[in-house]
Amino acid sequence: MPTLISSLQNQQPTDATQLQRPIAPQPVRWPELKVQDKVLGKKFNDVWYYGTILDIYPAVPEENQEWKCKVKFDGKGMKTLPGRLVAYKDPINCFLRVGTRIVALYREDDAPSTFYAGVIAEAPSIKNNRRFLVFFDDGYAQYCDAKELHKVYMQSENVWEDINIETSAFIKEYLRIYPERPMVRLSKGQVVRTEWNGKWWTAKVVETDASLVKMYFQADKRVEWIYRGSTRLEPLFKALANADAIKAAGSARGRRHNLTMRPSDALRPSVEYTRSAGEDDSSSSNSAKSKYVAKPSEANKKKSNVAKKSTGGANNSELSKSGQWEAPWIRYQRKATSGVQKSRNADSASQEPDKASSKDKSQPGQTTDSSRPTKDIASILQERLATAEVEYDEESATGERKEVRLEAPGIPRRVFKPHRCSPVCLYDTNDGSDKFKGRSSLTIPLLCGWERQVCKTRPTTKRHIVYRAPCGRRLRNIEEVDQYLLVTNSDLTIDLFCFDQQLHVNIEFVPVKTFCDIKDLSYGKEHYPISCVNGIDRHYPDYVEYSDHRIPSNGVQLNLDPDFLVCCDCTDNCRDKSKCACQQMTIQNTSWIGEIDPEAGYHYKRLPEPLFTGIVECNVRCKCDKRCHNRVAQHGLRMRLQVFKTEKKGWGLRCLDDIAKGSFICIYAGQLLTDRGANEDGKQYGDEYLAELDFIEVVERQKEGYESDVEGMEFSEDESDVNYKVSKDSADDDSDYTQKSSPPEASKRKLRGSRRKGQTTTEDTDDNKQGVKSAQLLNRQSNVATDTAPSVVSEAISISDEEDEEEDAGAATVKTIKPPPEVPKEKLKARARKSTGGSRFNLSTTFKTSHEPVSEMDVINEKKERAPTRSFFNDDTECYIMDAKSMGNLGRYLNHSCTPNVFVQNIFVDTHDLRFPWVAFFAGQYIRAGTELTWDYNYEVGSVPDKVLYCYCGSSMCRGRLL
Ligand SMILES: C[S@@+](CC[C@H](N)C(=O)[O-])C[C@H]1O[C@@H](n2cnc3c(N)ncnc32)[C@H](O)[C@@H]1O
């Protein structure tokens, strides 16, 4: 029997517009309705009208007897109604809890406003402009002011029981998980497939209003407001369906970090899990989180709860076997407001679906730190102090950016005289950066007699960087520096130079207060010490056996025999990509997911964006030396990083010096486990540090048309048939795929083919075979003749003396500058999209010609049609796992962020076996000294049954949950 709800007693009559956050509940008695009171009552067709109470039964309240009243409606009509069908006539100008039953005026442009019943779905907050969100019983959603709400007199303890059957399941689920709410983050202009009358349509975001979004349906030029948490929006439909399917399937794979960013991630609408301020935000790893989290089902209890990171990327999208996903979610929408407008009562009309701060005071020749003088240099060269000024750049709670006085060895400044550059141009400081172990890498050239100048060339005000070489020659870009290094046979490598004018080479981050202070977490195993500080509490990090490389555990057959490596014979240290066999492997492999990108790979030893098809570095068998342009990750840590205690995420990693975009940071090393071993270990010791080596799967998924989503976003106003168009292209691509993308048969043929010339004749053990197989698979589309790569004859430097003089004469003035704003995100996104875009293999798994909501089974079936690459590895059907829990390197300390500054890259260094790439982290943008380094774990919420992990990345784009 409906009772006067407990929530009623918790209401605080007050001016709701003043509220910013829920107020502490105060017991309040709501007025009892009496005879002659004016009320709102439900009359017919779910519409509520004003009326007057004529009688109340029972006259004296009795236990177990339902309260009723006889209402005479204004106009005509009379009805006896229970308390849940009667509402106060006067608006309740007070705070009402989420879940409160109300009646509100539903506003319609094309019809008079009418009263309907609904439930409060959101309390007023700053985010929603201090309005209540109401879910009406028939599936519409609308923001209302407090003065528009009329509280229903009585409601059941389970409010969804007072609502019609179609809506009740949604409300029940909504309230069960509230305050957490999955919603699709959308922005104007995005195109999202949206359901209408059981069919998927292409619709574009016109406007967003807090939790609502206004969608424009191209086909019938209609707009509609929809709740962003509605499964009518395909991204949410898919996310929830996936989670549900994983649960249903008892995914034993658990949590795996997706170490590779998906190319279209930045472009696709993502699902966020919002929580209201002040509400329960405690991180919990189990179902005990709150009363809203369902207890694990018996079936789920039996499932493995092990969580592993994925080093490959895209999310698991398998669904339940039936291809059906039944969720209690229903559509929530606001009325159509233009075009073909739909009145509330005309929803069912069938529709035709789509056819388809500080200034930079650095001076040239700045000298360097005296704390670790390089004696031999000092003895050879005169000491010269630079004019660096020490100043505080920025203060924060954790530390400050300080400009360091670089006390350089005394290097006399040479006056430039026209000459032809050669090795004599260099000082005798030129025997490698090893002398400067531990120093910020970008300061090393300065220690060798170089100057880094911030210049402003008149008459323009554009600032740029110029390097002044030891011989006085001024070099204006990375290409010139590289040529200089070549002709002078310098030991310095090109990644020690950076022309990004916002980057400061002489600023370091210094933490302000620390309780624990460990000098080097790597105990000398890294080239650079990894300091560890705690400015939060007195705890020390757990002991981890430090290893800068991966360690195969029992059962992992990692063949590191160099004879199985393809190699190059470059003599120019692999400057010419077109002639380097190793870089050609990287380049050719881009054809797996699109057209060959001749620029793929490192660019002057930096990687500006992730390359999903992997990077093959030069190896021990190659002719090049350690200065090679294609050797990056293998050199290990080359920057000063620090482990520090964060407020809410445990330990994290930050940089002590500015990092240039594209710089290699570190790898993710740990114990290499089999999938089974990882599940067992994870269950026993925790799964926070498990990372899955799923390079193969990521590449395969790219082939399968991840880009199709992005293509679908190329929305034009006059494109009436997006679905059709995409599918048509995809059909063409299908045939392309069979010809160009190494179908299984072709691959098999290659596997049986002869071993590459120059490769070992070592007895074919199983492991060795696997290694060969793997390398060949990796190269199955590569036409590189590994042993015929021609060498490059070094040419004289092409910088003319005249040019140089002109630049000097141009009186480039050294300026102090403020760092400009960071590169706009959109740019990064655009580039990311370009590099992997143009996929020819859009197999239309997402967009289909059918106007049915996508059957996830179709996705699975399509996958089955092609033999996955991993099937070539005999019994190896599962990915190998890197576990950095008890043994590993600093990579284990990188936390997750929804707007990361680091990305992950699969790299082949010591083996070309596709199953065993190195997992490396690169800077996705310029990173200021003192910034925490983060990457996107790409976890899938719901992928580990009954595990909830809230995200504390603090980003304005935070998706709310990791798991
Ligand atoms: C690979 S570890 C990262 C290092 C870890 N913070 C530590 O103290 O060793 C992953 C774990 O860090 C925590 N974590 C990382 N990023 C987080 C985030 N954005 N929000 C909350 N917790 C996070 C989670 O507990 C996660 O399971």
Instruction: Verify whether ligand 1 is closer than 6 Å to residue 583 (CB atom).
Output: no
Are the C-beta atoms of residues 592 and 611 closer than 8 Å to each other?
no
- Distance from residue 292's CA to the centre of ligand 1 (Å): 24
- Distance from residue 962's CA to the centre of ligand 1 (Å): 10
Distance CA 327, CA 174 (A): 12
Nearest CA residue ID for atom 27, ligand 1: 688
Distance CA 867, CA 528 (A): 44
Instruction: Verify whether ligand 1 is closer than 6 Å to residue 644 (CB atom).
Output: no
Nearest CA residue ID for atom 24, ligand 1: 649
- Distance from residue 184's CA to the centre of ligand 1 (Å): 24
904-918 mean pLDDT? 95
Instruction: Verify whether ligand 1 is closer than 6 Å to residue 689 (CB atom).
Output: yes
Nearest CA residue ID for atom 23, ligand 1: 649
* 294: pLDDT strictly greater than 50: no
**How confident is the model over 110-129, as pLDDT tens digits?**
778 889 999 999 999 888 99
Q: How many Cα atoms within 13 Å fall on the side-chain side of residue 19? A: 25
Instruction: Verify whether ligand 1 is closer than 6 Å to residue 259 (CB atom).
Output: no
Pick from 516, 953, 962 the residue to mutate for probing ligand 1's pocket: most ligand atoms within 8 Å of its CB.
962
- Distance from residue 895's CA to the centre of ligand 1 (Å): 5
- What confidence score (pLDDT) does residue 62 get? 73
* 830: pLDDT strictly greater than 70: no
Pull the structure tokens for residue 779: 């190269």
- Distance from residue 649's CA to the centre of ligand 1 (Å): 5
**How confident is the model over 561-584, as pLDDT tens digits?**
999 999 999 999 999 999 999 999
Pull the structure tokens for residue 149: 């709400």
- Measure CA 321 to chain center: 29
- How much is the CA Rg of the chain, to the nearest whole Å? 33
Nearest CA residue ID for atom 11, ligand 1: 688
- What confidence score (pLDDT) does residue 824 get? 35
φ, ψ at 710 (rounded to 5°) = -70, -40
Sign of the alpha-carbon torsion through 327, 328, 334, 336: positive
For the chain, domain boundaries: 6-125, 375-503
The residue count for the chain: 963
Listed in sequence order, the residues at least 6 apart from 281 whose beta carbon sits closer than 8 Å to its beta carbon are 275, 950
623-642 mean pLDDT? 96
**How confident is the model over 833-884, as pLDDT tens digits?**
222 222 111 111 111 222 233 333 233 234 445 556 666 666 667 889 999 9
- Distance from residue 337's CA to the centre of ligand 1 (Å): 45
Q: How are beta strands 507-511 and 399-403 bridged, if at all?
A: antiparallel
- Distance from residue 558's CA to the centre of ligand 1 (Å): 29
- What confidence score (pLDDT) does residue 875 get? 63
24-36 mean pLDDT? 67
Atom of ligand 1 at shortest distance to CA of 897?
19
End-to-end Cα separation, the chain, in angstroms: 38
Pick from 308, 666, 688 the residue to mutate for probing ligand 1's pocket: most ligand atoms within 8 Å of its CB.
688
Q: In the sheet that 516-518 helps form, which strands lie side by side, from edge to edge?
A: 516-518, 531-534, 641-645, 651-655
Atom of ligand 1 at shortest distance to CA of 951?
20
Q: How are beta strands 270-274 and 399-403 bridged, if at all?
A: unpaired
585-to-597, 673, 779, 783, 792 alpha-carbon distances in Å: 11, 27, 7, 8, 19
**How confident is the model over 520-540, as pLDDT tens digits?**
999 999 999 999 999 999 899
Q: Amino acid letter at 63?
A: E
59-63 mean pLDDT? 73
Instruction: Verify whether ligand 1 is closer than 6 Å to residue 935 (CB atom).
Output: no
Listed in sequence order, the residues at least 6 apart from 393 whose beta carbon sits closer than 8 Å to its beta carbon are 357, 358, 400, 401, 402, 403, 507
Listed in sequence order, the residues at least 6 apart from 222 whose beta carbon sits closer than 8 Å to its beta carbon are 216, 336, 338, 339, 340, 341, 342
Instruction: Verify whether ligand 1 is closer than 6 Å to residue 264 (CB atom).
Output: no
Are the C-beta atoms of residues 594 and 781 closer than 8 Å to each other?
no
pLDDT band with cut points at 50, 70 and 90 for residue 832: very low
- What confidence score (pLDDT) does residue 434 get? 63
151-174 mean pLDDT? 89
Listed in sequence order, the residues at least 6 apart from 434 whose beta carbon sits closer than 8 Å to its beta carbon are none
**How confident is the model over 662-706, as pLDDT tens digits?**
999 999 999 999 888 887 777 777 788 988 898 998 888 777 654
- What confidence score (pLDDT) does residue 309 get? 47
Pick from 536, 653, 895 the residue to mutate for probing ligand 1's pocket: most ligand atoms within 8 Å of its CB.
895
Rounded (10°) angle between helices 744-752 and 766-778:
130
Instruction: Verify whether ligand 1 is closer than 6 Å to residue 650 (CB atom).
Output: yes
**Measuring CA to CA, which residue among 956, 944, 955 is closest to residue 257?**
944
Q: Amino acid letter at 736?
A: D
Instruction: Verify whether ligand 1 is closer than 6 Å to residue 132 (CB atom).
Output: no
Q: In the sheet that 463-468 helps form, which strands lie side by side, from edge to edge?
A: 474-475, 463-468, 451-456, 813-814
Are the C-beta atoms of residues 92 and 13 closer than 8 Å to each other?
yes
Give the class (CATH, top level) of 6-125: mainly beta
Helices and strands (H and E) in the chain: how many: 17, 40
Lowest mean pLDDT among 27-31, 156-160, 378-382, 620-624: 378-382
- What confidence score (pLDDT) does residue 872 get? 64
- What confidence score (pLDDT) does residue 353 get? 39
How much of the chain exceeds pLDDT 70, in percent?
A: 62
285-307 mean pLDDT? 32
* 630: pLDDT strictly greater than 70: yes
- What confidence score (pLDDT) does residue 220 get? 87
- Distance from residue 646's CA to the centre of ligand 1 (Å): 10
How confident is the prediction for the chain on average, in pLDDT?
70
Highest mean pLDDT among 28-42, 139-153, 619-633: 619-633
Distance CA 539, CA 245 (A): 40
Distance CA 940, CA 504 (A): 37
- Distance from residue 234's CA to the centre of ligand 1 (Å): 29
pTM over 0.90: no
Cα maximum dimension of the chain: 110
Pull the structure tokens for residue 918: 């190195």
- What confidence score (pLDDT) does residue 626 get? 93
- What confidence score (pLDDT) does residue 871 get? 65
In 3-state terms the chain splits into helix, strand, coil percentages (rounded to 5) of 25, 20, 55
- What confidence score (pLDDT) does residue 250 get? 53
Lowest mean pLDDT among 19-33, 259-273, 295-309, 453-467: 295-309
**Measuring CA to CA, which residue among 227, 208, 226, 205 is closest to residue 216?**
205
Atom of ligand 1 at shortest distance to CA of 650?
8
pLDDT band with cut points at 50, 70 and 90 for residue 166: confident
**How confident is the model over 469-521, as pLDDT tens digits?**
999 999 999 999 999 999 999 999 999 999 999 999 989 999 887 888 899 99
Distance CA 170, CA 184 (A): 17
- What confidence score (pLDDT) does residue 249 get? 60
H helices within 448-580, ranges in order? 478-487
Atom of ligand 1 at shortest distance to CA of 285?
25
Pick from 305, 896, 898, 957 the residue to mutate for probing ligand 1's pocket: most ligand atoms within 8 Å of its CB.
896
Atom of ligand 1 at shortest distance to CA of 893?
4
**How confident is the model over 180-189, as pLDDT tens digits?**
888 888 888 8
Sign of the alpha-carbon torsion through 296, 298, 304, 309: negative
Atom of ligand 1 at shortest distance to CA of 894?
3
Are the C-beta atoms of residues 446 and 439 closer than 8 Å to each other?
no
Identify the residue with better confidence: 779 or 420. Answer: 420
**Cα 130-131-136 angle, rounded to 5 deg:** 160
803-812 mean pLDDT? 37
Q: Amino acid letter at 593?
A: I
**How confident is the model over 190-199, as pLDDT tens digits?**
888 888 888 8
Highest mean pLDDT among 401-415, 453-467, 564-578: 564-578
ipTM of this predicted structure: 1.00
Are the C-beta atoms of residues 337 and 234 closer than 8 Å to each other?
no
**How confident is the model over 341-400, as pLDDT tens digits?**
334 443 333 333 343 333 333 333 333 333 333 333 333 333 332 322 223 333 345 788
148-174 mean pLDDT? 89
Nearest CA residue ID for atom 13, ligand 1: 649
- What confidence score (pLDDT) does residue 56 get? 92
- What confidence score (pLDDT) does residue 71 get? 96
Distance CA 494, CA 482 (A): 6
Distance CA 563, CA 158 (A): 70
- What confidence score (pLDDT) does residue 75 get? 85
Instruction: Verify whether ligand 1 is closer than 6 Å to residue 487 (CB atom).
Output: no
**How confident is the model over 754-764, as pLDDT tens digits?**
223 333 333 34
Q: List Cβ<8 Å contacts ≥24 apart for 583-587.
A: 583/616, 583/630, 584/782, 584/784, 584/789, 585/616, 585/778, 585/779, 585/782, 585/784, 585/912, 586/611, 586/613, 586/614, 586/615, 586/616
Nearest CA residue ID for atom 26, ligand 1: 688
- What confidence score (pLDDT) does residue 533 get? 94
796-to-421, 445, 497, 805 alpha-carbon distances in Å: 8, 22, 21, 18
Distance CA 308, CA 818 (A): 42
